[in-house]
A and B are shown apart, each in its own frame.
Chain A
Amino acid sequence: DTGVSQNPRHKITKRGQNVTFRCDPISEHNRLYWYRQTLGQGPEFLTYFQNEAQLEKSRLLSDRFSAERPKGSFSTLEIQRTEQGDSAMYLCASSPPQGYNEQFFGPGTRLTVL
């Protein structure tokens, strides 16, 4: 069990560019979550998937943000037309089908928008 992995770990981009992050959950975890963490704050919920279905999206997730989990395994988070305010750590977590929804977090992708 290698844990939740996220790629890339760091991304620097210019304002207006599109970026895509990938999350690979722990194998056999059917639930996957995305959070955003800005400096000095706790993680904020963005969205979650159960298998390939996206069941909840935060109002924080503007139209420029889209997340997919096409085969119920890995997930991607895309940000279009990035803005400086998008600079943050993007965290992914996963949960197994049984249990009490304990979430296992990946190391995060740090996005810097110049």
Chain B
Amino acid sequence: AQSVTQLDSQVPVFEEAPVELRCNYSSSVSVYLFWYVQYPNQGLQLLLKYLSGSTLVKGINGFEAEFNKSQTSFHLRKPSVHISDTAEYFCAVSDPLYNFNKFYFGSGTKLNVKP
């Protein structure tokens, strides 16, 4: 089974500052990687995904993530955050054993953007 670790449960940051949300995964095989955002009382919205190819992936709302195979990491970054980015962010890995249908999620990181 795969597993995902999000090291920071909460990240406070001031508006217009850069932010990095960390994600590490454990897998002995190639996986697909995803970042989702969840606003209060809503479902999850896909920010970006890594399938193969370039290790730097760009997503919506100015977010990007870098896949690092040797460190089994997939950290999410944004150079300048806005108040509207306040939400919970989840990293996920899909399991090739189930034809990439089964997702494993991390426990989430709450991003709190302060004015």
Contact = CB atoms under 8 A, between A and B. Distances in A.
Query: Are both chains from one complex?
Result: yes
Interface stretch (B11-19, B73-81, B99-107): B99-107
A4 B106 CA distance: 22
A42 B102 contact: no
Interface string B1-42: 000101001000000000000000000000010101000011
Interface stretch (A14-22, A72-80, A105-113): A105-113
Of the four ranges (under 10, 10 to 19, 20 to 34, 35 or more), the interface on chain A belongs to 20 to 34
Given A102-B46, A106-B43, A108-B43, A41 B102 contact: no
Interface string A94-112: 0100001111111110100
Contacts of B34: 102
11 contacts: A4-B43, A31-B101, A33-B101, A40-B9, A42-B106, A43-B105, A55-B101, A56-B98, A91-B44, A105-B36, A105-B43
Given A41-B107, A42-B106, A100-B32, A56 B44 contact: no
A105 B44 contact: yes
Interface string A11-46: 000000000000000000001010100001111110
Given A41-B107, A102-B34, A56 B102 contact: yes
A42 B49 contact: no
Nearest to B98: A56
Contacts of A103: 46, 103
A55 B32 CA distance: 20
A106 B44 CA distance: 7
B43 A107 contact: yes
A45 B34 CA distance: 15
